[in-house]
């Protein structure tokens, strides 16, 4: 007996609902906590997740549910990956969920850590809420991110795109860092029909997409400035 692709998709789509039921609908909260602990320690390849836990997550229902979602998604991946004998050959191999800190996401998105936390507060990372005091957010790579335009993608896709761009940058040895950042600046100047100081740099109420572009644009401008200074030396 194995988990079919259809069953995997149904469970994945209903993870939030299942987690809410496990947190709130068992006969006692103690039973919900006990089940969570048993699953957390029973599921394989789960050491990183367990290390980030303490009893404080059970004090807030939303945080408890959020961690249950993460645990259930990881359990699903482990169940699909586990050998089942005569398994459904249509079931793909799924890598374990990887999680990222807000600091890591700030690098992938090209924005400040403060912006990442603002996006968490705005609900731009579906199902993610700020961790409690003395806790650190870990955002799974299958989390859905919502652009300012409403378009949706996953953290995994964002990271993949960032790595591809980094690979292109690293492989283009004949282009100096100064030329690279100058070229990126030109792309934004073309997009917004002007220099930063005359466009996003003077706009007070930026959309989320413009805010992201502004952060990345300023990053390239700063690197370009440093490149000019190095050239002068």
Does position 177 have pLDDT exceeding 80, yes or no? no
Look at residue 94 in the predicted model and tell me its pLDDT: 39
The 3-state DSSP class for residue 26 equals coil
The 3-state DSSP class for residue 140 equals strand
More confident call, 173 vs 170: 170
| Mean pLDDT over the full length of the chain | 79
Name, in order, each residue with C-beta under 8 angstroms of 124's C-beta and a sequence gap of 6 or more.
Answer: 145, 146, 208
Name, in order, each residue with C-beta under 8 angstroms of 167's C-beta and a sequence gap of 6 or more.
Answer: none
pLDDT bracket for residue 93 (50, 70, 90): very low
Tell me the pLDDT tens digit for each residue of 211-224.
888 888 988 898 88
Tell me the pLDDT tens digit for each residue of 29-50.
778 888 888 888 888 887 877 7
pLDDT bracket for residue 67 (50, 70, 90): confident
More confident call, 129 vs 9: 129
Name, in order, each residue with C-beta under 8 angstroms of 132's C-beta and a sequence gap of 6 or more.
Answer: 56, 57, 59, 60, 63
Look at residue 145 in the predicted model and tell me its pLDDT: 92
By the 8 A CB rule, do 66 and 129 touch? yes
pLDDT bracket for residue 120 (50, 70, 90): very high
More confident call, 188 vs 135: 188
pLDDT bracket for residue 169 (50, 70, 90): low
pTM across the whole model? 0.39
Look at residue 86 in the predicted model and tell me its pLDDT: 44
């Amino acid at each position: 007996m194995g988990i079919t692709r259809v069953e995997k998709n149904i469970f994945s789509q209903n993870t939030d609902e299942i987690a809410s039921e496990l947190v709130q609908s068992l006969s006692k909260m103690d039973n919900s906590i006990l089940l969570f602990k048993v699953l957390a320690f029973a599921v394989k390849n789960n050491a990183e997740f367990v290390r980030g836990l303490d009893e404080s997550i059970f004090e807030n229902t939303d945080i408890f549910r959020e961690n249950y979602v993460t645990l259930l998604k990881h359990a699903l991946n482990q169940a699909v990956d586990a050998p089942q004998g005569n398994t459904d050959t249509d079931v793909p191999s799924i890598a374990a969920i990887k999680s990222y800190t807000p600091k890591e996401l700030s690098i992938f998105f090209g924005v400040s850590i403060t912006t990442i936390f603002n996006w968490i507060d705005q609900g731009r990372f579906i199902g993610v809420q700020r961790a409690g005091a003395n806790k650190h957010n870990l955002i799974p790579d299958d989390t859905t991110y919502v652009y300012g335009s409403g378009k949706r993608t996953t953290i995994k896709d964002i990271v993949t795109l960032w790595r591809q761009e980094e690979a292109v940058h690293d492989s283009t040895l004949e282009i100096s860092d100064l030329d690279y950042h100058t070229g990126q600046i030109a792309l934004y100047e073309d997009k917004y029909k002007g220099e930063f100081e005359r466009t996003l740099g003077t706009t007070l109420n930026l959309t989320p997409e413009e805010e992201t572009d502004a952060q990345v644009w300023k990053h390239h401008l700063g690197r370009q400035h440093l490149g000019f200074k190095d050239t002068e030396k």
